Amino acid sequence: MKKSARTYWGQFIPLVTVFFFWGFVAASNDILIPVFKAAFHLSQTQSQFVSLAFYVAYTVGSLLYLLVSAVLKQDLIQKIGYKNGLALGLCISALGTLLFYPAANSSSFTLMLSGLFIVGLGFSLQQTAANPLAIALGSRETGSQRLTLAGGINNFGTTIGPLIVSFAIFGTPSSNNTVASIESVKIPYLVLGLVFFLVAVFLKFSSLPDRPALEEDAQDSRTHGPSSALQFPQLVLGMLAIFVYVGVEVSTASNLPAYMELTQGYLTKDIAPFISLYWGSLMIGRWTGAVEAFQLSDGAAKLAKFLAPYLAFSVFLAVNAIAQHELSRFYVYGAVVLVLIFADLASKGNPANMLGIFSVLGISALILGMCTSGMVSIYAFTSIGLFCSTLWPCIFSLAISGLGKHTGQGSNFLIMMIMGGGVVSWLQGFVADKVGIQMSYIVGVGCFSYLAFYSWKVKTILARQGIDL
């Protein structure tokens, strides 16, 4: 009998707190990059070590996860439980934030990077547990939408993270403080570490299941077949897709401050609202894509497809109003949101179609940004947030489709590829030092080109396995 397309909200809501923190820290890195660049006199390539240290930690964490599981001869999360895995990951991240205190006191770039690396290690364990858990907290039909909704909460964190960190470093926009202070970084990260620990305790005693019954486990009755997740081509190609997707998403934002400073004349302290807009754009797209998770009627769902993105856009405007930033320059961006809405409707909920359409739009936006200047180019680059917004659940669901009992292993391999955020950011920084910051966005064009290819290729692969999207 087909299960109703329900979601266990009482369990899902506590879970999304960790998604919020991933976004808060990841987007805050984009403020740390220009601050560290100025304070430590770094090149653009060297400044991208911030992203590299943070995102490579995901791969190292995934490898450690596989090693520990091999020693235990059992999957680590299955051994300790999902709640314990999330709590342990939060405690590891909390330890990483403690390094910001001695790093700030000694003005050590190496210690700063070490702290971010340890925070990323904890996030790796959290991601390994949280993504399949989000899918499991309800029916499989709405699993992708729950992941998109969790991503929308993630991007609420990315929207306010740069504003809070920028305020901690520079004060209000009306202040005359334009000098980056390493000392002022340590307090917000120590507070963040305390919050990590408190949330770990909260999740430990929440109603989240320790070992949810994953639908794939129940459905997979095969005794023969592939012995490893790596024998599934949709996963192998999907791993590279996750690598370049996270890469273009992160590198577009992490190189945006340098573009605005070097070509548009902005001060570092004035860039935070644009970084907030970029990550807020992901929130806009993910709130749009998450509409199906609420089981609305057809008419209400269509209306929500128009209301949800503008509600998210209003959240962006509200938090920037609270931060005392000038809002009038952002109103025109509401027209860009319409492109997202019509693209989402054109995909008809098919993850492969959505991946293809949004990849083509991403290529177009990057080329527009490379060929123009002023606010047109800035909005072109920030719109990449819109077109990246729903790609994670699209790629994730396509890559693990049909994996059956190998779904958990496949999920870990996909988390490993989050390192693309650091590698591609560093690569774009390297290209920027050679050909200029604006033309360096050609790296992102290459990333979206592969995603467009994957959207076409995976349809054929899954069709051969009898999987109907």
Question: What secondary structure does DSSP assign to 251-274, as a single string?
Answer: HHHHTHHHHHHHHH---GGG-HHH
| pLDDT per position as a tens digit, 171-215 | 666 666 555 567 777 888 888 899 999 999 998 888 888 776 654
| pLDDT per position as a tens digit, 75-88 | 788 788 888 999 99
Q: Give the residue-averaged pLDDT of 87-106.
A: 92
**Closest Cα to residue 159, out of 23, 280, 250?**
280
**Mean pLDDT of the chain, nearest integer:** 85
Give the pLDDT of residue 267: 82
pLDDT confidence band for 404 (50 / 70 / 90): confident
Task: Tell me the angle at which helices 442-464 and 233-254 cross, rounded to the nearest 10 degrees.
Answer: 160
Give the pLDDT of residue 5: 54
296-332 per-residue burial string, b: 16 or more CB within 10 A, e: under 16: eeeeeeeebbeebbbebbebbbebbeebebeeeebee
Q: Is the pLDDT of residue 14 over 70?
A: yes
* Residues 415/131, Cβ–Cβ less than 8 Å: yes
**Closest Cα to residue 399, out of 263, 209, 250, 229?**
229
* Residues 100/190, Cβ–Cβ less than 8 Å: yes
What Cα–Cα distance (Å) separates residue 393 from each residue in 218, 243, 397, 433? 22, 14, 6, 33
| pLDDT per position as a tens digit, 276-332 | 899 889 889 888 877 776 777 778 888 888 899 999 999 999 988 988 888 998 999
149 or 441, which is more confident? 441
DSSP β-bridge partners for residue 7: 138
Give the pLDDT of residue 2: 40
Report the C-alpha gap between 57 and 48 in whole angstroms.
14
Give me 302's structure tokens: 């269509």
Write down the domain spans for the chain: 10-212+227-464
Beta strands of 171-277 (E only): which ranges? none
Least confident of 147-161, 170-184, 256-270: 170-184
**Closest Cα to residue 457, out of 210, 294, 238, 296?**
238
Cα angle 124, 129, 134; round to 5: 120
Give the pLDDT of residue 225: 64
Give the pLDDT of residue 134: 81
* Residues 316/276, Cβ–Cβ less than 8 Å: yes
402-419 per-residue burial string, b: 16 or more CB within 10 A, e: under 16: bbbbbbbbbbbbbbbbbb
Query: Which residues, other chains included, contact 319 with Cβ-Cβ below 8 Å and sequence gap of 6+?
Result: 159, 160, 163, 276
pLDDT confidence band for 221 (50 / 70 / 90): very low
Burial of 84 (0-12, 13-18, 19+ CB in 10 A): middle
Most confident option among 83-87, 149-153, 168-172, 360-364: 360-364
Give the pLDDT of residue 293: 66
Report the C-alpha gap between 407 and 216 in whole angstroms.
7
Least confident of 53-67, 173-187, 268-282: 173-187
188-225 per-residue burial string, b: 16 or more CB within 10 A, e: under 16: bbbebbebbbebbeebeebebeeebebbbeeebeeeee
Give the pLDDT of residue 214: 56
Q: Is the pLDDT of residue 60 over 80?
A: yes
Give the pLDDT of residue 55: 87
Report the C-alpha gap between 150 and 351 in whole angstroms.
17
Q: What is the CATH number of domain 10-212+227-464?
A: 1.20.1250.20
* Residues 457/237, Cβ–Cβ less than 8 Å: yes
Report the C-alpha gap between 219 and 236 in whole angstroms.
22
381 or 466, which is more confident? 381
For 291-337, the DSSP string reads GGGG---HHHHHHHHHHHHHHHHHHHHHHHHHTT---GGGTTHHHHH
